[in-house]
Amino acid sequence: MLQAPGRRTGFLRLATAVRAMAAGPTVLLPELRALLASGRARLFDVRSREEAAAGTIPGALNIPVSELESALQMEPAAFQALYSAKKPKLEDENLVFFCQMGKRGLQATQLAQSLGYTGYRQCWLGRLGPAPSPASLTPLFLHRAQNYAGAYQEWSEKVG
C-alpha cells in the first residue's frame, strides 16, 4: 500500500518522540529555544571540561557528569564557590542537562531526579515537526529535570 509523502516521516518523528519520552523526560530544540529566549531554563553541560571548552550552548554551566552527583549534594555556598553559580534548588523548574550526543545528558537527568529534582511543571507539546501553531498545542506534564535530547551536536548544527 502506498502512503502519501510525509506521512511516514510524521510517523517516524512520533516514534522517535515516544522513545525519547519513555527513556526519560526530554526537551526538544523548539522548546529549548523558547525557554532560553524567555530566560526560564538553566542549562547544564555535563560533558568534560575539554569538550565544553571547544564550544557549548550559551549560558550553560559545565559540570562533568562524573562530578554531578557530588555537585548537586553540596551546600549552596560550596557549590557557588566551586562553580561560580547558584546551586539549583529541588523546586527549580526547567533544569536542562545535555552532552554531545545524549547519553550522558540522560544519565545526568536521571541522576538529578534520583536526588530529588523530581517536581512536575506544565509545558506544552505541539504536533511534531517544525514550529507548532498555538492551536496544535496540548498540555503535558514533564519532570523539572530534563535531558536535551538533541544534545550539543544538534545545537551546533542548527543554531550555531
Tell me the C-alpha distance between 150 and 152, whole Å: 7
Long-range contacts of 8-11 (CB under 8 A, 24+ apart): 10/128, 10/129
Identify the active-site residue in 41, 99, 128, 145: 99
Burial class (CB in 10 A: 0-12, 13-18, 19+), 119: middle
Contacts of 123 (CB under 8 A, 6+ apart): 27, 31, 139, 140, 141, 142
99 is catalytic: yes
Q: Are 138 and 125 in contact (CB under 8 A)?
A: yes
Q: Nearest CA to 74 among 115, 16, 126, 18? A: 115
Residues with catalytic roles: 99
